Structure 1
Amino acid sequence: MVARIIEGEEIRGAVEYNEEKVAKGAAELLYAHLYAKEASNLSFKEKLFRLQHLADLAQRADNVCTHISIGFHPSEKLSPELLRRLAVEYMEKIDFGNQPFLLYEHFDTAIQHMHVVTTKIKDDGKAIDTSFIGIKKSIPATEYLEEKYGLIKAKEQKSNETIAIKAADIKAIEYGEKPTKKEISRVVRSVISLYEFGSLAEFNSILRQFNVVADQGEENSRMRKHNGLVYRAIQTNGELIGKGIKSSSIYGKPKLDFLQGQFKKKKARPEHRERIYRIIDDVLNKGVDEKRFLKELSDNGIYVHIHRNKEGLAYGITFVDNLTLTVFKGSDIERSFSVKGIFSRLQPDEDIPAVSWNKQFVNSIISQTDYKPGIKGVLCKWLSAGVHINAGNNESGPVFLAGHSKILPEYYWKLDRRVTNYLIANGLTPARANYIDRNLAKILPDRFSIEAMHAFSSYLNVQLNNLIDSAFEVIHDDGISSELLKEAKKKKRYRRR
């Protein structure tokens, strides 16, 4: 049982969203709590008025609408009666038991889920305190109900079991089978209602996965100068389709000034960073290329938007968590998760035959490594087997890459964290690794084949050991040669005199 609480300004928008689902047969109103009539006998005006009347009594609160979605495990099919009971008990546990609310069951995804629309404004005009309601009240409430009714626990569910918004049907829009405005409006209103976002860029990162984008126009265009905004359908490659839909023509008028008001209220909460950080870090540690990185995160319910310029160069990265309905810039999750940091940890494209072969070659050598001889013995073994090492630094620290002597450096395979930590702990710095790589050609000329090197193995081992010793003696730990370090110390002593 997973509950998500979203606060907003508009009661009407939330009620209309659910009523539209009912009209399409994609939802059913199950229960109206603390209403004068049974749910089936209520008109739209009556449903709305009961909540709006309380919202209008608000003394200070801005976010008067509380919209809650509650989802269950795909294998669970609960009766309407049990859904009603769960909703009532859940609302009591989060201190909303005395508030009127509308309960809808939705049928538009494979996962059974229900939506609750209510207000936090009480009949005295004061607002229920919803500070940290997720951690303090909602999670304990769902865990209590899971235990009481024997439901599958949220902690045991796979992370990709999310309540999804259906993407805009691009083919239907292209061929005129579905009205563009209707498709775009559905996506925009759903995203605003459910997701948390703190900027137009974050809002667009969420919209893009549903084939929609909010467009301000070109840099010096009339529309941008007047703070205009249109919503447009886009292909998966980012290409715009059809005419834009004016933001003022969508119900709720999600214009730029409206969105700017939402940015301050809907910015993702810090507590959601931990889940997304853990998943990204775990996937990167597996040693994956860009394609597999995106696929693994998608399997965990996370959409990745890589920002690229007209030349195709990446300049930013944003992660949309469709489980917690939050969005973060990479660098806001962790400094090393900037686009530069992420790409520095990604492997080259495994679909390139040379990369795939090199990966197998490097992993085969490393898996057979005996670490007892120490770092110099390990390096000598790798070099004599034809493995070259070069290195660099990223925001996470040193990165070591390995490849066969005949493979292009751009196809080198990044060593995993375990091996990298071993190399660092035993004194191999990027400067030392690159010193060895630069001077290796003097010992192993290109005209020598691997077979020839095996024939002169004793001689080569001596030369390789001398090179490795030289690297550890000549290159200081911080990448400064020992000669330069001595010279700097002399100058420092001279100044003191």
Structure 2
Amino acid sequence: MVAKISIGSSLYGALAYNGEKMNKEQGRVLGANKIILPADGQIDIARMVENFNAFMPNTGKTKKPVLHISLNPHPDDRLSEQQYEILAREYLDKLGFGEQPYIIYKHMDIDRHHIHIVTVNVNELGKRLNQDFIYRRSKKITTELEEKYNLHKAQREKITPDMPILKVDPSGDIKRQVANTVKMVGMRYKFQTIGEYNAILSLYNIRCEQTDGRVNGREYHGLVYFATDDDGKIIATPFKASRLGKFASRTAIDSRFEKAKDKIDVASTKRKVADVLANATDKSGFVAKLEARNIDVVFRYTDEGRIYGVTFIDHGSMNVLNGSRLGKEFSANSINERFNSNDDTHSVATPVVVPAELTHGDTASDTQQQSPDNRRQPSDGQRQSPGFYSTTGYGDTNFTLPGLDLFQPGLAFNPDEEEFRRRMQRKKKGPRHRF
């Protein structure tokens, strides 16, 4: 059984996350302690917050008083709801939180049913409970519970250098898939901008947005990740970087940008793309021949179908490069003039208000190499994805959590591409006349 512990400041956010699962009939409450549960089962999040606050002082020095814990038994352990509740209560007792107010949820959004627990780590006097070595103690407790109840020993999935990267499977554990993909992409590929980072993520049906905001006078800068389908529509609740791991944080990704500057060999990718470009007669042939050389290309389009962005992903050298980095003849403008085609127009999406409280993380591990044979073969729709800028919204999906609209996505763009797009829009509107 694997336990995952998140420590944060937003009680409402943790309760709202679980409440949304219940609204989608993907979760239910199994039990609670010191929290009044309505007889009709209709959970009022604001009322739940009041219940928790009744056991917490109005003032306190603890900035992150909320614990959001998930307990994940092995998929082969088929437990009843009563057994899930017993596990959760015994786990909290052993961890030292048995007398705290808490609420236990069961999630059924994936085949592997699991438990979520929301509690607080301060008592009625405002004193923070013991969190020393909490992760180490948690691991010891889950091992004891596995032995006591004859459960399978579940371990976290380990990322290996030769593990293939696959696009998100909507029927699986989306959060785990997004986390694994983000970790592997960060370990293996070299990129220098958020646009290049999004280009490689798009091959696996993931995108991210920069988020900037201020809460309680404190400025935040972070990332939020989205799982999408092949058409770019969001298929799950967005994940703030802190929920995936430090490797997904803005601090870690910014660090990768800096490291890549000294590691990327533009010349090797440029030679391969130049050779293909010299012999290509149309865009589809250009894409196919690049794929044969182990290079994917991601185009970004205006609403009129004009290419305003192009990124080359070299799976051999692990380089992710905007066309302009290779040279003027490889830029979006040049590629569009060479293969001027409106057959692949796509709508593009706009940033959404992200309900996130963002935290910073440490730098992820150094870049590693991936065997070209392990890369996923994207579909034509994915390969010619509109990319990461938008004017019409993420399909039909708009996600917000009430009361958490604290952050606005930051700008995730290539300045040269954006200037080109604005210039084309001005041409379309015609010259302005001053009087």
TM-score between the two structures when normalised by the length of structure 1: 0.39
Which structure would you say has the larger Rg? 1
TM-score between the two structures when normalised by the length of structure 2: 0.44
* Structure number with higher helix proportion: 1
